[in-house]
Structure 1
Amino acid sequence: MDVTVIWAAIIALGVFTYVVLDGFHLGIGIVFPFFRDEHDRDRMTNTVAPVWNGNKAWLVPGGAALFAVLPVLYSPLLSTLYLPLAFMLACLILRGVSIRNRAKADRTKPLWDRAFTGGSAGAAFFQGIALGAFVQGISVDTGTHASIATGWLTPFNLFAGFGVVATYALLGSCWLFARTDANLQRRLHRLIWPLTMVLLGFVVLVSVWTPLAHASIATRWFDARLFLRLTPVPLLVLVCGYWMHRAIRARHRSTPFFAALGLVALGYLGILVSVWPYATAHSVTLRHTAVPHSSEMFALSGALVMLPVVMSYTTLGCRALRGKVRHGGTGRYL
């Protein structure tokens, strides 16, 4: 049993879960400027008010797992991406403060609305920058000393930042479409397809840019053994896009959100294929960054107990609060 692979799968699952759960909440803040009515904005925030604080907690297991199991990866990753991650955390704090204060504010409510938008868009943007830097590669000179391979403020990283913003905006719009009704839902209906086209445009450009900029990724993508296995991925992206189009035309309530999740999952799969089995700089494998086997097993015993608990209360919370928000914006659900 390769425990390092199991831990890589756990970390990958935790990151994807965070993207899904906190991504649609950040997306709500990103699309906030498209809706000026105060009651509409109250309903938008009330769809996630009971769960947003727990959603972002999925960041903690990912960071803890990197520190405990992959310390050689944790050190250069956190050192190189110190500034974008610090900016991301500052934006998440601003997002949290704004969503609490806007519910009680009167004259300063517009200010907190702008803070909610800025914090949400900023957190998404810096997450994208960190993602782009990780895909480009972070070099490790020794077991403790890290250096920047290309620098985190590059055109590719900035492009990845805007791509994550577009992704979260689509997730947020689809979530709201399933949780609202009347005029607000009709306006969201007109917003989903343009955001889908924007996301598909980012997918195409990244798919072309990545292999052209990184020879190691191009070699891996077009390897004869892997190429045939990856062939269905672009086709599945087209299927998800068509699925989204059909769902929007038929005005299905929840289907657009699942179609958006399909697009996100396929993009995430592409990233994993691009970097696997390397941890940094496309030269250091995950096994070279891991702690001894006994330490991995000890940490895994705790993870196997806690992960089902966390996943269970997350599922039960979302299930208990399913349904549409009432017109009054009280936060109660039908």
Structure 2
Amino acid sequence: MDLPLIWSVLIATAVMLYVLLDGFDLGVGILTVFADDEAERSLLTSTIEPVWDGNETWLVLGGGGLFAAFPLAYAILMPAFYLPVLVMLAALIFRGVAFEFRHKAARAATRNFWNGAFFGGSLAAAFSQGVILGAFVQGVEVEGRGFAGGGFDWLTPFSLMTGFSVVIGYVLLGACWLVLKTEGATREGARKWARRALIGVGVSMATVSLATLSIDPRVTERWGFTMAAIDFAKFWKLAPIPIAAAGLFYALWRDLDLKREAAPDWRPFILSAGLFLTGFLGLAFSLFPYNVPFARTVWETAARDNALGFMLAGAGVMIPVILIYTAYVYSLFWGKVRPAEGYGAGGAHG
């Protein structure tokens, strides 16, 4: 049994679930700045109120799994990304505080402050995650068993580009979530936001994909590209990923067309999640087997097999429990969110 490979799949799955689940509620947080008034802003936050805190469970699982299963990778990557990781964590904390306090603010000035903090925390967390992703993809300088680069090696044009790309992607997820959860003018406004964000996502995916191919020759070789020719034998093996992305993009664009009402409200969110999944798979196939690109593989950084096996037994129990509980919460609060009476004070019911 290849335990390092199993753990890499588990951690990658946890990260992907975090991106999809916390991604949409960070996107909703960013979109609150575009709300027409306080009542609509409270309606937007009510769509994520039952689930936003639980969505962050997958971040803990992904980070904790990296620390436990791949301690060498954790020891190399954390010093390389200290600053953006600290900014991300501070933003998530500040956002969580703002989420609770904005409902309790008695004065308009105080409420505006916490509304701004919720928007700012959501934006900063999303941008930081994108910067970390870009810095991870471009690789870090390693000597022996430690990080040998500088404290700002993560700050590059590529990482800034991925930071903005993740923000746009989260806005798309958040807008599609609002299409699913709201009605009337708010739903129509969310469709407009989603359609605009989808244009940005298409440009971002194309730009980041092309830039990723130029980062390391091993990536271009994996996809079958050289400066002079294309190796179609290699390219066609991975071609279903960009083809699927193009198909999902087209289907989502049609579903978000304001003149079309045939598409069910749940479908844009599923299609946008699928679009994210194709991007994630493209990166995974580009970087595997490295979990410290392009210096250390999953087998070189893994803990001992007895430790991995012991932790796998615990994960085999806990992960299904988390999945079942998450599914139960989402099913419990399924359906449209409508303003409650006296909505200006906050709160809504499904």
Amino acid corresponding to residue 136 of structure 2 in structure 1:
F
Deviation of 1:60 (Å)? 1.1
For residue 41 of structure 1, what is the aligned residue in structure 2? Answer: 41
Give the match for residue 96 of structure 2.
96
Which amino acid in structure 1 is aligned with residue 283 of structure 2?
Answer: I
Whole-Å separation in 2 of the counterparts to 1:70 and 1:217 = 23
Task: Give CA-to-partner distance per residue, 1:18-47, whole Å, 9 cap, x none.
Answer: 011111000011112211311110110011
The share of aligned pairs that are identical, in percent, is: 39
Whether the aligned pair in 1 keeps the contact of 2:178 and 2:187 (CA below 8 Å) is: yes
Q: Does 1:87 align with 2:87?
A: yes
Tell me the amino acid that sits aligned with residue 169 of structure 2.
T
Is 1:257–2:269 an aligned residue pair? yes
Look up the match of 2:182.
Answer: 180
> 2:149, 2:177 → 1: CA distance?
37
Question: Is it true that 1:19 corresponds to 2:27 in the alignment?
Answer: no
Query: Is the 2:339–2:349 Cα contact (8 Å) retained in structure 1?
Result: no
- Structure 1 runs not aligned, ≥5 long: none
**Residue in 2 that maps onto 1:50:** 50
Query: Retained in 2: the 8 A contact 1:140–1:281?
Result: no
CA distance in 2, matches of 1:271, 1:313: 29
Q: Does 1:234 align with 2:242?
A: yes
Among candidates 269, 273, 281, match of residue 293 of structure 2: 281
| Aligned residue type for 2:143 | D
Shift of 1:213: 3.1
Instruction: For 1:97-176, list aligned pairs within 5 A.
Output: 97-107=97-107, 108-143=110-145, 145-148=146-149, 151-176=153-178
Measure how far apart 1:332 and its partner are.
4.6
The separation in 1 between residues aligned to 2:135 and 2:90, in whole angstroms, is: 19
Q: Which residue of the partner structure matches residue 224 of structure 2?
A: 222
Contact 1:71–1:290 (Cα < 8 Å) also in 2: yes
Corresponding position of 2:228: none
1:191 Cα deviation (Å)? Answer: 1.5
Other structure's SS at 1:279 match: strand
| TM score, norm. by length of structure 1 | 0.96
More divergent stretch after superposition (219-228 vs 72-81): 219-228
* 2:308 pairs with one of 290, 296, 299: 296
Deviation at 1:331? 4.1
Counterpart of 1:204 (choices 203, 206, 225) is: 206
Q: How far apart are the structure 1 equivalents of 2:197 and 2:61?
A: 31
Distance 1:89 1:308 in 2: 26
Partner of 2:252: 244
Matched letter for residue 155 of structure 1: P
What one-letter code is carried by the residue in structure 1 that aligns with 2:84? Answer: P
Paired residue type of 1:295:
A
8 Å Cα contact 1:14/1:59 also seen in 2: yes
AA at the equivalent of 2:297: T
Give the equivalent residue in structure 2 for 1:319: 331
From the superposition, tell whether residues 321 and 179 of structure 1 become closer, same or farther in structure 2 (CA, over 3 Å). Answer: same
For residues 40-74 of structure 1, the C-alpha deviation after alignment (integer angstroms, 9 at most, x for no partner) is 10110011111111111211111111111101100
- Deviations, residues 133-188 of structure 1 (Å, cap 9, x unaligned): 11011232112x21238810000000000000001000000001111111111111
Partners of 1:264 and 1:158 in 2: how far apart?
Answer: 19
Mapped partners of 1:153, 1:179: distance in 2: 37
How far did residue 102 of structure 1 move? 0.5
The alignment yields a C-alpha RMSD, in angstroms, of 1.5
Matched residue SS, 2:256: helix
SS across alignment from 1:311: helix
User: Does structure 2 retain, via aligned residues, the 8 Å contact 1:139–1:281?
Assistant: no
Are 1:62 and 2:56 an aligned pair?
no
What is the total number of aligned residue pairs between the two structures?
333
